[in-house]
Amino acid sequence: MDSRRAVSAAWCGLLVLLGACGERAVDWNAPENLLWREKSTKVENGVELQYWSLVDASAQAVYDAIADVEHYPDFVRGVDSVQLLESGPNTKTVQITQRVIGRQNNAKVVWSFFPDKHRIEFKTLVSNVNYNDGTYDIEPSPDGKRCLVHSVFLVREGTGQAQAVPIGVLASGTRESFLAAAEGVKKRATGLEKAPASPK
């Protein structure tokens, strides 16, 4: 019996150690940091970029701001236009024009929304510069006043271009676009950037 307990304790200790070596625990009392942590991983045909943001706004407010895709030109720097092409109960398909690495990227993107989980997914269907698929997972703080946003982007080179953009340059451009979007989302979520009035 004692040997079984010893083995069980050893396994528990190992699992705790592995957990500690994995994702960093969130200090909810830490200062706001829109780039609290980042990770870059090479994958087939591209690169996976992950960003964690500690935001001084509620999970619901941040979710609502990210989900307001058709109004991105109002509060996300670098987004020139968004046209809503199609919408469903939990999806939006848009044509978005955005400046990336000094070029105008015109892309057709489908967005999927999971409000109960505070999760948003998007997938690029057509693009003239680069393909960017990703997710946003938003975790509320225990008191509900702050949140941690985990953003994941899978960046791949576009196809059929006269001048292909190197994946390293695309990754750098994606990081800059992420920071611009994070700043805009924070302002919208906290009311510093007002939402447009609803049509009557």
| Confidence (pLDDT) at 44 | 83
Q: What CA–CA distance (Å, rounded) separates 189 from 117?
A: 18
**Which pLDDT score, from 0 to 100, does residue 156 have?**
83
Burial class (CB in 10 A: 0-12, 13-18, 19+), 200: exposed
Question: So what's the pLDDT on residue 124?
Answer: 92
Whether the Cβ atoms of residue 117 and residue 125 lie closer than 8 Å to each other = no
pLDDT of residue 49: 95
- Determine the pLDDT at residue 169: 81
Which residues neighbour 180 within 8 Å (Cβ) at sequence distance 6 or greater?
A: 76, 77, 78
Domains for the chain: give ranges and CATH numbers.
Answer: 27-189 (3.30.530.20)
Separation CA 73–CA 86 (nearest Å): 18
* Dihedral pair phi/psi, residue 75, rounded to 5°: -140, 0
Residues in the chain where the model's pLDDT stays below 50: 1-22, 162, 197-200
- Predicted pLDDT of residue 101: 64
pLDDT value of position 135:
98
Q: What is the pLDDT of residue 192?
A: 67
Q: In this structure, are residues 80 and 94 in contact, taking their beta carbons and an 8 Å threshold? A: no
**Rounded to whole angstroms, how far apart are CA atoms 143 and 163?**
50
Instruction: Return the amino acid letter for 41.
Output: T
Angle between helices 167-189 and 59-67 in degrees, nearest 10:
120
Amino acid 12: pLDDT: 40
Cα 175 from Cα 87, distance rounded (Å)? 28
Give the whole-angstrom CA distance, residue 164 versus residue 184.
Answer: 29
pLDDT reported for residue 137:
98
Residue 23 CB partners (closer than 8 Å, separation 6+):
none
Tokens of 102: 């000094």
